[in-house]
Amino acid sequence: MDEKPTFRESVMTFLHQFGEVMGNLVLGALYYVLLGPVALVGRLFADPLRMRRPADSSFLPWQEENDTLPEAHRQG
């Protein structure tokens, strides 16, 4: 009828579940310990939209991409 699992099967089942829990904990800790500070430093020092005024000048050179009307229309 219902066979009782052997000691080895019981231990392997426990170790499998324990490994899944520990894997999630270790990966979660690595995520917050490694990725968190890197993201924080990146946010503090990066300015991808150039929102901060440059230290030497606020002048940006003209980008000659759409000087004529046909070139501007080509953008869609």
CA proximity to 55, closest of 65, 66, 64, 47: 47
| Residue in this structure with the two tokens 């699992």, named with its chain if needed | 5
Blockwise average pLDDT, block size 10, the chain, 76 residues: 87 96 94 91 86 74 74 72
DSSP state of 66: S
Q: Residues 57-73: pLDDT tens digits?
A: 767 777 776 678 887 77
> pTM for this structure?
0.45
